[in-house]
Amino acid sequence: MRTRDDALRRVDDVRAQSALVDAALDAAELDRRRAGSLLAGGIAFRVFLWLLPAALLVAAISGVAHPAGAMSPDRVARSLGLAAATASSVDAAIQRSDRGAAVLVGISIALMLAASTSLVRALRVAHVVAWDEPFRRRGSLVRDGAIFSACLLAMTLLETAVTYLRHQDPAWILLSVPVSVAVVGGGWLGLSLLLPHAGARWPALLPGVALVAGGHVVMQVVTVLYLAPKLARAPALYGALGSAATLLLWLFLLSRLLVASAFFNATLWRRRRGSPGSGDAS
């Protein structure tokens, strides 16, 4: 109890000295009250539904998994990332399929568009809750879904290329980290402008962008040290569900960053405007 009380006093001291820490803790509390983890879970599931046809599209068009040959999914995850490991798994199904490449491409594009439209809805709900905006129907969901699909696919391919180069030569890590930050940060900034943000200008979204970009770099380390080995062990215990669970864990962590960035930006923006903190969602 004494240790806990000392820790709380230290936190209060830090909050009094740093407005940024105070805002971050306020954002975390608002996130907790408004079920940020639940929102992130819904987003993660929709990203999962989008990732499967995206992996099918990439594997059908370019054969991205073929250079990996007979490599196990955990080795693919280490050298190319978890998205490429998903494409590697999908590629095995393609080899057994009697459908032509054109049919697979058409199916994957249609499924990607449907999944991305659902993803945009989920992200809009999370941002409406974070920014205290009234929920309004938008007639451009299909257009936004197509934009999200294109951006996510481009970001995934760039990240895969960066991960591959870093795996080939450790010296690339000096370049890969800033490139990864620029790709993820720039992509999320552009997508955030399509989501509700109470009319705030783009500089107000930069703190959340920095949170997502920095968190994504940490997630790459977690992938190599924890998730990739788990990807090798999980199927032995749970079969195909083990691989799906590992991928969903990775997507949940990523979605948690996206939701946290929305609450962080909204909290800082309200403070700059002198608005009082919002209460519970109820």
Tell me which DSSP letter residue 224 carries: I
Closest by alpha carbon to 250, among 62, 73, 61, 30?
73
Residue 247 has pLDDT above 90, yes or no: no
Domain locations along the chain: 30-273
Yes or no: say if 270 and 207 are a contact pair by the CB < 8 Å rule: no
Helix 173-192 / helix 206-222 crossing angle, nearest 10 deg = 140
Query: Is the model more confident about 107 or about 101?
Result: 107
> How does the average pLDDT of the chain come out, rounded?
79
pLDDT of residue 183: 87
pTM: 0.79
| Percent of the residues in the chain that have a pLDDT greater than 70, as a whole number | 72
pLDDT digits (tens, 9 = 90+) for 170-190: 667 677 778 888 888 999 999
- Is the Cβ–Cβ distance between 84 and 33 less than 8 Å? no
Per the model's pLDDT, the better-predicted residue between 228 and 203 turns out to be: 203
Give me the pLDDT at residue 259, please: 96
Residue appearing with tokens 């998903």: 86
pLDDT score at 63: 52
